[in-house]
Structure formats: C-alpha cells, structure tokens
Amino acid sequence: MNVIPKGTWVEIERVLLQPEDRAPHLPEETRICPYVLRISGFLQEDAELGAQVTVRSLIGHTHQGVLKVVNPSYSHSFGATVPELLHIGVRP
C-alpha cells in the first residue's frame, strides 16, 4: 500500500449522523442516507487511503475522518456546450 506522507493536502470524510440519528420528517430518500462531512486539510501523520486520520484545516483546526482523497482538487467546468443557448441574441 502507498503511504501518504504527513503534511500532504488531503480530503477526509466522516459520518456525522447515522440514518437513525437524523432529523425527523425527512423525505424517505434522504432519511435512509447517513449525513456526511467532507473536509480538506494537511495530514497529521503518515497514513494509507482508508485509514482513520487527523487533518489540520486552512485555519488550523483539527478534524478526524477517513482518508479519501490525496491532493483534492476542483474540476468543475463550463460543461459541454449546450447548443440550445447559441441562437440567443445573435444579430443577423
């Protein structure tokens, strides 16, 4: 297994509430899911993916959770072109 070195920027995940502990009156499709937190931070000890770890966030607070992603990144985009928009405002 690959050991991720201490200090690496990672994302962890933690279940905050199991389905049975969630708020009352949720729609069924929400009620059956655990309530989950994801947070990024600097890994506080060498660890492998899937391990229970501690991270230190950008503001220096520590959080525990399961190590999920190494070097989490944003890849949201402008999406595939939607041709239905292209007729709008085009002047002859």
Partner 1 sequence: MKDMSYQAVMGRRNEIMKASLGIDFTDFIQSPIAFDYERMMRETGYALEDIVRIQAETKVGNTPLFELTNLTEAVRAFAGPGKGARILVKDEAANAGGSFKARRAAISAFEAKKRGYKGLVAATSGNYGAAVASQAAMRGLKCIIVQEVFDSRGVGQPEILEKSRACEAYGAEVQRLSVGPELFFQLLLTLETTGFFNASLYTPFGIKGVETLGVEVAEQVRARYGKDPDAVVITHAGGGNLTGTARGLIAAGSTGTRVVACSVDLGGLHMASDTDFNRKSFTTGHTGFGVPFATWPDRVDVPRNAARSLRYMDEYQLVTQGEVFYVTELLAKLEGLERGPAGNTSLTAAVTLARTMDRDQIVVVQETEYTGAGKHHNRQLSFARENGIEVRVGDPRENVPGKAIVIPERLDQVQGSVQDMEKLRMSYLRNAAKAHPAALWTGADRAFLAADLKKDIDWVATAAATL
Q: Which residues within the stretch 53-92 sit at the binding site for partner 1 (CB under 8 A)? A: 57-61, 74, 76-82, 84-85, 87-90
Does the protein bind partner 1 through residue 29 (CB under 8 A)?
Answer: yes
Cα–Cα distance measured from residue 57 to residue 39, given in angstroms and rounded to the nearest whole number: 8
Q: Rounded to 5 degrees, what are φ and ψ at 65? A: 175, -175
Q: What is the DSSP string of 25-78?
A: S--HHHHTSPEEEEEEEEESS-B-TTSEEEEE-TTS-EEEEEEEEES------S
User: Which residue, 3 or 57, is less far from partner 1 as judged by CB?
Assistant: 57
User: Which residue, 1 or 59, is less far from partner 1 as judged by CB?
Assistant: 59
Token pair for residue 3?
Answer: 């050991």
Per-residue interface string for the shown chain with partner 1, residues 36-55, x marking contact by CB under 8 A: xxxxxx--------------
Q: Which residues are near partner 1 by CB under 8 A?
A: 16-17, 21-23, 26-27, 29-30, 33-41, 57-61, 74, 76-82, 84-85, 87-90
